Structures are given as structure tokens and as C-alpha cells.
């Protein structure tokens, strides 16, 4: 009779066993008097636990990993003496000196041979200023005081390099089994600091390490001319072949940030390259920094412009309201004090008599207070146009609207170049950037220089550009999941650029439609209120509702919500068409550079077309606004600010008339403020 084990429920997921913590740290004393800390771990050890066990609690400023051949031998040719000396200088003066200067930590294979021995000697030459961590298989290493290695593993055994500061011995019986722990440790060291990999020579294990670096988005410096893997990657990268049989090499070449350094290059060249790469792609970072500055200052000028225009608008409406209120209260005081006038008012209104008598009773009891209040309103009504006129002058003098427009246009131009650069398309593709032609970085730098030069020839040059203190790239300037720096494959470009902008336009059209309906309903409601006021005999207040209806109608006209809605719908449709075209291509066609260029070119053309239309509409609106404000300023200078007579009717009240004049142009044209373009 057989028994069947009970079947666990579908939702009963057995949790993975907890990682085994590192064993207590050991201290190794080498013959050269150097002491190194050593810890033994299993291949499921966590990086932060290893760091804690080693006592590496202070985070370095950068991380450099070294990959390459243990013996520095080609199967056919032994490394010559000249090449050995060149590599020794590159490691000692190039890598080790740079790491010591910038406070970087180093990780390598830890064995006393090949590039690891050179790295150890380089750190020793610099006074052991940089932590150098070696990661090796525990059963395959020898060091002072270690246990004997089993005979069957003797052929693969290696000595620990005596100049390392720390060692991590992984419980794995073969070379390469320690790679996971090495990169878990590297990720724990560099969660928020820059990192890079240097490849010299190398074979199959080095290929795995470089692949891991590429997947982490780290740049890789390949010392071409050092043999084997390094030369193979250099050749493939320079040839840009259509098909690479080895999937690992294909991923390294296509997705990696590869930087070639000839083995006979000057040491200073390697030093500069390391410093530049540890700052990130300096040209791309510079582009994002410029975008961030232009974007932040565009938002600053936009907020300033909107604030001034809104306050001018608010003061105009407030002045009109207070002038009407003053006139109404003076008229009511006149009526309640004269019986004959009051009787005429009762006969001409449709309001209930009891309500009118109640209002008269209140005015008679509080007449003195109301008279004092109307006298105070006189001065308020005088001050409001003065403030509005001063704000009009400031708006025309500082011209924040035009500065906003210029900065926003330049920021979007920089962003467009960033995405073309990251997609390696058009002028930034590999075929167009090989020597003697300009490099991709040089082309991007040239475009940035041209845009900045044009911007500084405008009125933006007379205003200070405030620094951006936030993250790079700025928040909301990229799609979720996009770090802003990694190379964009066509699929990533499709997701991070096309899909992101498509969703933006679709969501924006929904908001615009709701805004259009709300404004139209508001016009109908305010118009109805005006009709109601006329029926109640409050003709004086119809001027306020009429001005509001005119303002809302002007807002719709100059805001061009319907036109913007049409433009956004067209842009979304065009982006959907580009996406459909790309998806319909065969896989082989999607690999062709011409089609990748077409994908980026069409997308950026659509986005630029929509944005340039917005720019032109805004420029026209600002021109009209400036003319109206200059006209208002001229009128105020000619007429001056007159003191309103509280006993005059509204048509003869200069304060009311001037308030309406200063309010009208601001209301009509300050409304030309579409939402800021997406960052």
C-alpha cells in the first residue's frame, strides 16, 4: 500500500531559507607585514552582512571593480615585457592613484597573479590608501595559516595576493562560483555611489563579470591590446556587426557603456577617463543639469508671470466690485433718508415690501457706520488702481512671460537632444560618430552649446539663472522606471518616450474637455444671474456680471482650449501611429539602424510640432498682452488717478471707471496661460 503526501494549498508558498550569516572575521598576516581581514561566507550571503563582518561601515565615494586574466596569457602568445610594464603603470599610477585621490574602493578576484597582483602592488605603491577587497572560492586558496588543499583541487589552487586589505572566501568548489557574492557585495557598497569596471585581458569568467556590470548599468573601460576578451570586445565594438553569435557578448556590446582605452595610452588618459566616468556620463549629466536649470527657471518665471497677472486681474475685479458697492450703499443711504425717493424705490422693485422695510430699518440704525465705511472705500478704491498700475509697469519691465517662454523652449530642446542621444539615433548613432567624425559626446556638447548661446542672446541674459538643488534628472522629467542616463533600446524608447507622452496627451485631453465644459456652464450661469439682477431691479450690478461673462468668453478665446484639445488629440493619434508602425515591423527590420532612426525622428518631430505650435500661440498671446498693458499704462499716465465722488453714479465715478480700465486688459490677456509643458 502506498501513501500519498498531502498536497499543499496553492497559496501555501514555502519561504526561502534564511541566508547564512558570515563566520567570524579572521586576520591574515602576510610575509610583507601586511594584515588583511578575511571572512568566510556561503554563496547566499548578503552583501550588507559581509560589509558589517569586515568592518567596512564607512561608505567610499566610488567603486572600481577589476576584471581580467589571472595569468595574462594568450594560448599562443605570452605577454611581452613591454606590455607588462605598460599595464603595471596603468594599474599603479592610473587606477590605484585615482582611487586613492577620490576615495574609491576596489574589488577584484584577490589571487596573487595577473591583473589582481598588479592591482595589489599598485595599492601598496600608494600606501594602502584604498580598501582592496578580493573575492575567491574558499576551497581553492592558500594563505599563511590556511588548511591544506585537497589533492584533487591542487591544480586549480591559488595564493592570496598579499597587498589586499580584505578577503571574502565563498564556499564554492570552482572558480566563477564566487561571482554572485562578488556582485552582491559590490551592490551593497555602491547603492548610491558611482561605480565602473576595468577589463584587462580576461576569459570566460571575466566575461560573466563584465556582463553583470553591464546589467547594473556600470560603464566598462576595456583596455584594448591587452589580449583575449578585451581585444574581442574592442573589435566587436568598433566593427558594430549586425549579429554576434555569443549572447553574452551581444548584450555587452549592444547594452553596455563601453569605453576603449589603448594599452599604450598615457596614464593620465586613464586617470581622466576614470574620473569622468565616476561622475557619470559627464556630457549627458551636463545636459540634464542644463535642462534642470532651464526647467526650474522657466517654472520660476512662469509662477512670477502668473502671480503678477492674477493679482492685476484680482485687483481690477476687486476695484470694480468695491466701486459698485460704494455706489450702491450711497444710493441706499440717499433713498432711506428721503421718504419720497423710498416710495419710488418700493414701486419700482419686485422685492417684497417687508424685506425692503427691513433693509431700510438696518440702514437707518447703522447709517453712521455705513457712511464711515463708504468713506474708507473711497481710499481703498483710489489705492487699488495705483497698485494695479505699478504691477502693470513691473510686468512690462521684467517681462517674466517672455523669459518663461524662452527658457521653456530651450529646456524642451535640450530634452529632445537627450533622448536622441540616449537612443543613439540620427546624428548620435554609431555609424555617424566613429573617427574621424565627431563622437556622440562631442555632438551633444555642440548642440548644448548652440542652444545655450542662442538663449544668452535674448533677454534671459539680463536675469539670474538660479541653480537646481534637486535630483538629476529632475523629478517628473522622465517616465517611471527611467533613470535618465542608460542607453535606450528601441523598446525602452517606445516605453519611456512614446508611451509616456501618449498617456500624457490622453490624460490632458480629458482635463481640457472638463475645463471647457465647466467654463461654458459658468458663462451660462453668470449670464443667468445678470438676467435675475435685472428682474430684481438691481441694474447697477449687471455691470459686474457682464464683465465676468466677457472675461470668461475672452478666457476661452485666448486660452484656445478647443484648439489645444484638437492639437493634443492629433499628437496622441500620431504617436499611436508611430507605435503601430514600429510594432508591425519584423524583428530583423527593428534591428536596422535606419528604422531606429526613423522611429526617433518621427517621434521627436511629432512632439516638436506640437510644442512649436504651443510656443507660437504663446508668443502671439504675449505680444497682445504687452500691447494691451502698454495701452493701459499710457492711459493711466494721461488720466492720472482721480478721487471718486461718493455721491456720483457709477457712470461718473472715475475710480470705478479706472478700475474697470485696468482690470479689462489683464483679464483678457493674462488668461492666455496654458499649463506648463511636461518636463
Lookup: cell for 338: 428721503
Lookup: cell for 575: 504617436
Band the pLDDT of 633: cuts 50, 70, 90: low
Q: Over the Cα atoms of the chain, what is R_g?
A: 37
Q: What is the pLDDT of residue 558?
A: 56
**Any idea which residue has 439682477 for its cell?**
533
Beta strands 35-41 and 166-170 are parallel
Residue 484: cis peptide before it, omega within 30 degrees of 0: no
| Alpha carbon distance 405, 342 (integer Å) | 57
Q: What are phi and psi of 476, to 5 degrees?
A: 70, 5
Lookup: cell for 5: 503526501
Q: Which residue has the higher pLDDT, 564 or 232?
A: 232
How many CB atoms lie under 10 A from the CB of residue 358? 11
> Using one digit for the tens of pLDDT, what is the confidence trace for 238-297?
887 778 889 999 999 988 889 999 998 999 999 989 988 887 667 888 899 999 999 999
Q: What is the pLDDT of residue 213?
A: 94
Q: What is the pLDDT of residue 575?
A: 94
Q: In the predicted model, is pLDDT for residue 161 greater than 80? A: yes
> Using one digit for the tens of pLDDT, what is the confidence trace for 119-149?
999 999 989 999 999 999 999 999 998 888 8
Q: Where are the beta strands (DSSP E) in 138-185?
A: 141-142, 158-159, 166-170
Please give the distance of CA 327 from its chain centroid, rounded to a whole number. Answer: 54
Q: Which residue has the higher pLDDT, 416 or 475?
A: 416
Band the pLDDT of 366: cuts 50, 70, 90: confident
| Alpha carbon distance 267, 291 (integer Å) | 34
> Using one digit for the tens of pLDDT, what is the confidence trace for 506-560?
999 999 889 888 888 888 888 888 888 777 767 777 777 777 777 676 666 656 6
Classify 297 as helix, strand or coil: helix
Q: What is the pLDDT of residue 559?
A: 62
Range with top average pLDDT, 68-82, 119-133, 452-466, 548-562 = 119-133
CA-based end-to-end distance of the chain:
71
Q: What is the pLDDT of residue 557?
A: 63
Band the pLDDT of 663: cuts 50, 70, 90: very low
Contacting residues for 372 by C-beta, under 8 A, at least 6 apart: none
Out of 363-367, 428-432, 675-679, which region has the weakest mean confidence (pLDDT)?
Answer: 675-679
Q: What is the pLDDT of residue 13?
A: 46
> Using one digit for the tens of pLDDT, what is the confidence trace for 371-415?
788 888 888 888 888 887 888 777 777 778 788 888 988 999 999
Q: What is the pLDDT of residue 643?
A: 35
Average pLDDT over residues 150-179: 91
Average pLDDT over residues 570-585: 93
Average pLDDT over residues 453-478: 88
Can you list the alpha helix ranges (DSSP code H) found in 539-650? 542-559, 561-584, 587-590, 593-639
Band the pLDDT of 665: cuts 50, 70, 90: very low
Q: In the predicted model, is pLDDT for residue 314 greater than 50? A: yes
| Alpha carbon distance 247, 371 (integer Å) | 90
Run of H or E including 448:
helix 440-456
Q: In the predicted model, is pLDDT for residue 660 greater than 70? A: no
Q: pLDDT > 70: what percent of the chain?
A: 81
Query: Residue 587: which of 256, 241, 243, 247 has the closest Cα?
Result: 243
Mean pLDDT score of the chain, rounded to an integer?
81
Band the pLDDT of 565: cuts 50, 70, 90: confident
CA distances, 68 to each of 37, 87, 360 (Å): 24, 12, 99
Q: In the predicted model, is pLDDT for residue 658 greater than 70? A: no
Q: Which residue has the higher pLDDT, 384 or 583?
A: 583
Q: Virtual CA dihedral for 393, 397, 403, 406, nearest 10 degrees? A: 110
Q: What is the pLDDT of residue 75?
A: 38
Query: Residue 672: which of 578, 548, 506, 551 has the closest Cα?
Result: 551
Range with top average pLDDT, 400-409, 562-571, 598-607, 624-633 = 598-607
Run of H or E including 262:
strand 257-262
Query: Residue 106: which of 25, 45, 97 has the closest Cα?
Result: 97
> Using one digit for the tens of pLDDT, what is the confidence trace for 96-113?
999 999 999 999 999 998
Q: CB–CB of 211/252 below 8 Å?
A: yes
Q: What is the pLDDT of residue 4?
A: 39
Domain ranges of the chain: 26-280
> Using one digit for the tens of pLDDT, what is the confidence trace for 35-63?
999 999 998 899 999 999 999 888 899 99
Please give the distance of CA 588 from its chain centroid, rounded to a whole number. Answer: 33
Q: What is the pLDDT of residue 2?
A: 39
Contacting residues for 624 by C-beta, under 8 A, at least 6 apart: 558, 669, 672
Out of 133-137, 496-500, 618-622, which region has the weakest mean confidence (pLDDT)?
Answer: 618-622
CA distances, 215 to each of 42, 232, 254, 578 (Å): 23, 19, 11, 29
Band the pLDDT of 453: cuts 50, 70, 90: very high
Q: What is the pLDDT of residue 644?
A: 36
Q: For 222-248, give the DSSP string.
A: EEETS-HHHHHHHHHHHHT-S--SSHH
| Alpha carbon distance 440, 287 (integer Å) | 13
Q: pTM of this prediction?
A: 0.63
Lookup: cell for 652: 461718473
| Alpha carbon distance 523, 529 (integer Å) | 10
The listed CATH number (3.40.190.10, 1.25.40.10, 3.40.50.300, 3.40.50.450) that belongs to domain 26-280: 3.40.50.450
Q: Which residue has the higher pLDDT, 647 or 331?
A: 331
Amino acid at each position: 500500500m502506498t501513501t500519498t503526501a498531502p498536497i499543499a494549498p496553492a497559496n501555501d508558498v514555502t519561504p526561502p531559507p534564511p541566508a547564512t550569516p558570515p563566520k567570524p572575521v579572521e586576520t591574515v598576516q602576510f610575509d610583507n607585514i601586511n594584515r588583511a581581514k578575511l571572512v568566510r561566507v556561503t554563496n547566499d550571503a548578503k552583501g550588507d552582512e559581509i560589509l558589517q563582518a569586515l568592518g567596512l561601515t564607512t561608505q567610499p565615494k566610488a567603486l572600481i571593480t577589476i576584471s581580467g586574466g589571472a595569468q595574462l596569457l594568450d594560448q599562443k602568445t605570452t605577454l611581452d615585457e613591454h606590455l607588462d610594464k605598460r599595464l603595471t603603470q596603468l594599474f599603479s599610477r592610473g587606477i590605484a592613484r585615482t582611487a586613492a585621490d577620490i576615495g574609491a574602493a576596489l574589488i577584484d578576484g584577490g589571487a596573487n597573479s595577473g591583473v589582481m597582483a598588479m592591482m595589489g602592488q599598485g595599492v601598496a605603491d600608494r600606501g594602502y590608501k584604498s580598501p582592496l577587497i578580493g573575492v575567491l572560492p574558499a576551497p581553492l586558496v592558500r594563505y599563511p595559516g590556511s588548511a591544506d588543499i585537497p589533492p584533487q583541487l591542487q591544480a586549480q589552487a591559488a595564493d592570496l595576493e598579499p597587498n589586499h586589505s580584505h578577503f571574502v572566501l565563498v564556499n564554492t568548489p570552482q572558480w566563477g562560483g564566487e561571482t554572485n557574492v562578488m556582485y552582491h557585495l559590490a551592490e551593497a557598497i555602491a547603492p548610491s555611489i558611482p561605480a565602473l569596471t576595468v577589463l584587462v585581458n580576461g576569459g570566460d569568467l571575466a566575461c560573466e563579470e563584465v556582463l553583470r556590470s553591464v546589467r547594473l548599468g556600470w560603464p566598462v573601460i576595456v583596455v584594448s591590446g591587452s589580449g583575449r576578451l578585451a581585444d574581442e570586445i574592442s573589435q566587436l565594438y568598433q566593427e558594430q556587426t549586425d549579429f554576434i553569435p555569443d549572447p553574452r557578448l551581444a548584450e555587452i556590446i549592444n547594452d553596455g557603456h563601453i569605453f576603449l582605452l589603448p594599452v599604450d595610452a598615457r596614464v593620465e588618459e586613464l586617470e581622466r577617463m576614470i574620473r569622468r566616468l565616476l561622475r557619470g556620463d559627464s556630457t549627458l549629466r551636463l545636459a540634464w543639469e542644463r535642462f534642470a536649470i532651464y526647467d526650474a527657471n522657466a517654472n520660476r518665471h512662469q509662477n512670477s508671470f502668473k502671480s503678477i497677472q492674477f493679482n492685476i486681474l484680482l485687483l481690477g475685479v476687486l476695484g470694480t466690485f468695491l466701486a459698485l458697492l460704494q455706489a450702491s450703499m450711497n444710493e441706499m443711504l440717499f433713498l432711506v433718508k428721503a421718504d419720497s425717493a423710498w416710495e419710488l424705490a418700493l414701486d419700482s422693485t419686485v422685492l417684497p415690501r417687508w424685506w425692503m422695510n427691513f433693509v431700510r430699518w438696518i440702514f437707518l440704525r447703522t447709517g453712521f457706520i455705513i457712511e464711515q465705511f463708504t468713506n474708507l472705500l473711497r481710499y481703498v478704491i483710489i489705492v487699488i488702481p495705483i497698485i494695479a498700475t505699478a504691477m502693470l509697469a513691473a510686468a512690462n519691465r521684467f517681462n517674466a512671460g517672455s523669459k518663461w517662454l524662452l527658457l521653456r523652449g530651450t529646456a524642451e530642446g535640450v530634452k529632445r537632444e537627450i533622448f536622441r542621444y540616449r537612443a543613439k539615433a540620427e546624428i548620435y548613432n554609431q555609424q555617424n560618430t566613429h573617427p574621424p567624425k565627431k563622437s556622440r559626446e562631442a555632438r551633444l556638447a555642440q548642440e548644448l552649446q548652440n542652444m545655450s548661446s542662442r538663449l544668452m542672446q535674448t533677454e534671459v541674459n539680463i536675469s539670474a539663472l538660479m541653480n537646481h538643488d534637486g535630483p538629476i534628472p529632475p523629478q517628473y522629467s522622465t517616465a517611471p522606471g527611467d533613470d535618465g542616463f542608460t542607453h535606450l533600446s528601441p523598446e525602452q524608447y517606445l516605453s519611456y518616450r512614446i508611451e509616456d507622452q501618449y498617456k500624457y496627451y490622453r490624460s490632458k485631453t480629458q482635463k481640457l474637455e472638463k475645463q471647457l465644459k465647466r467654463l461654458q456652464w459658468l458663462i451660462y450661469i453668470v449670464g443667468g444671474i445678470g438676467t435675475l439682477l435685472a428682474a430684481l431691479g438691481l441694474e447697477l450690478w449687471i455691470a459686474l456680471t457682464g464683465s465676468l461673462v466677457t472675461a470668461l468668453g475672452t478666457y476661452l478665446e485666448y486660452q484656445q482650449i478647443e484648439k489645444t484639445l484638437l492639437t493634443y488629440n492629433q499628437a496622441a493619434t500620431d504617436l499611436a501611429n508611430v507605435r503601430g508602425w514600429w510594432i508591425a515591423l519584423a524583428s530583423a527590420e527593428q534591428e536596422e539602424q535606419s528604422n531606429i532612426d526613423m522611429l526617433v525622428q518621427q517621434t521627436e518631430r511629432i512632439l516638436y510640432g506640437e510644442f512649436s505650435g504651443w510656443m507660437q500661440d504663446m508668443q502671439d498671446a504675449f505680444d497682445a498682452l504687452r500691447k494691451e498693458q502698454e495701452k493701459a499704462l499710457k492711459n493711466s499716465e494721461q488720466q492720472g488717478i482721480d478721487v471718486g465722488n461718493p455721491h456720483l453714479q457709477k457712470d461718473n465715478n472715475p475710480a470705478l471707471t479706472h478700475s474697470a480700465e485696468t482690470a479689462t486688459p489683464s483679464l483678457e490677456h493674462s488668461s492666455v496661460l496654458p499649463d506648463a509643458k511636461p518636463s
